């Protein structure tokens, strides 16, 4: 990296959004735990995006982005919405019923792995050997953390313990998010302003969330807790509407490869919060797992960053 590039990365317009998005997204994993305490997860997902959707449309309008989509663009937005704002979040919220929020966040740090695999299958992106090596190291590290989680709750319930169920749900969430990431990168998706695509996708996802909640959780509950609704506002406006534009501006400013390092900060914040507020216990196994996971992610991201276009 040249001296000019290093200076460009250290300017406030890059550092501040990087720190803000990483810190906010790291905190959202814990805030979700307050949304599923006594309230069906499906309804909490719906409430979050029912509030976030009009706000995101307003952001797109204020940014003067095109909001009128063609029929193929609407179809793409609907698919992205179902996978990203329904499947992904429904699986995540249900996973956190069984697994510590920081561990779910750590698992999502591996999102780059299915992203690379699906990118190879559907849009022909090549994967470097360094990426594969780094991903393998990260997977081993996360596996250490999951083993610790299971040992801490060996008699939690079904399928070898509810921890296992939580891990499976989180994995489905990762796959859903990955599908959304890859399909939005097709030629149709690249022709739509990102904020506009996200707004329409969120609208379609919210409609799906409503139907899913009614079918699986019955009539909508109306919690009276101020903390619950404060969490909804935080997740919807701060954790969704504010961070998405900042994140994609970073992608434009410094590239997707460097922006992906934000996941390291997100995971660190999530694990710190889990330690402080969820009583997460560190052992040599978890410390080693955390180190391996972070080192592996860094190696994988550095290799991916050097990938040559086809």
Q: What is the pLDDT of residue 7?
A: 47
Of the candidates 238, 302, 292, which has an alpha carbon nearest to the alpha carbon of residue 267? 292
> For 121-157, what is each residue's pLDDT tens digit?
766 667 777 888 888 998 999 999 888 887 776 554 4
CB–CB of 130/303 below 8 Å? Answer: yes
- Secondary-structure breakdown of the chain: helix, strand, coil percentages, each rounded to the nearest 5: 80, 0, 20
Among 74-83, 160-169, 248-257, the least confident range: 248-257
> For 238-255, what is each residue's pLDDT tens digit?
998 988 778 877 766 766
Of the candidates 98, 62, 39, 94, which has an alpha carbon nearest to the alpha carbon of residue 195? 62
Please report the DSSP string for 99-114 in residue order: S-HHHHHHHHGGGHHH
> For 13-63, what is each residue's pLDDT tens digit?
778 888 899 899 999 999 999 999 899 999 999 999 999 999 999 999 998
Helix 162-183 and helix 129-152, axial crossing angle in degrees, nearest 10: 150
Pick the residue with more confidence: 294 or 126?
294
């Amino acid at each position: 990296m040249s001296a000019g590039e290093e200076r460009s990365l250290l300017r406030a317009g890059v550092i501040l959004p990087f720190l803000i998005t990483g810190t906010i997204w790291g905190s959202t994993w814990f805030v979700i735990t307050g949304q599923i305490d006594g309230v069906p997860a499906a309804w909490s997902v719906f409430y979050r995006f029912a509030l976030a959707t009009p706000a995101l449309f307003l952001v797109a309008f204020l940014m003067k982005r095109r909001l009128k989509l063609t029929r193929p663009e609407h179809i793409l937005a609907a698919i992205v919405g179902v996978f990203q704002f329904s499947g992904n979040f429904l699986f995540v919220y249900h996973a956190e019923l069984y697994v510590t929020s920081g561990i779910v966040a750590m698992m999502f740090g591996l999102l780059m792995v299915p992203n690379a695999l699906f990118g190879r299958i559907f849009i022909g992106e090549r994967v470097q050997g360094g990426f594969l090596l780094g991903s393998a190291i990260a997977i081993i590290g996360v596996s250490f953390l999951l083993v610790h989680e299971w040992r801490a709750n060996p008699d939690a319930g079904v399928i070898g313990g509810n921890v296992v169920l939580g891990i499976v749900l989180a994995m489905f969430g990762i796959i859903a998010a990955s599908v959304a990431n890859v399909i939005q990168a097709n030629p149709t998706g690249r022709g739509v302003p990102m904020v506009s695509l996200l707004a329409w996708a969120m609208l379609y996802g919210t409609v799906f969330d409503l139907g899913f909640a009614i079918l699986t959780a019955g009539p909508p509950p109306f919690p009276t807790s101020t903390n619950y609704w404060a969490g909804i506002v935080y997740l919807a406006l701060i954790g969704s509407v504010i961070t998405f534009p900042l994140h994609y501006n970073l992608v434009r400013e410094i590239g997707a490869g460097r922006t992906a390092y934000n996941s390291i900060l997100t995971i660190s914040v999530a694990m710190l919060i889990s330690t402080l507020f969820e009583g997460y216990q560190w052992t040599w196994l978890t410390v080693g797992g955390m180190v391996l996971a972070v080192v592996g992610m860094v190696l994988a991201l550095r290799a991916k960053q050097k990938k040559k276009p086809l």
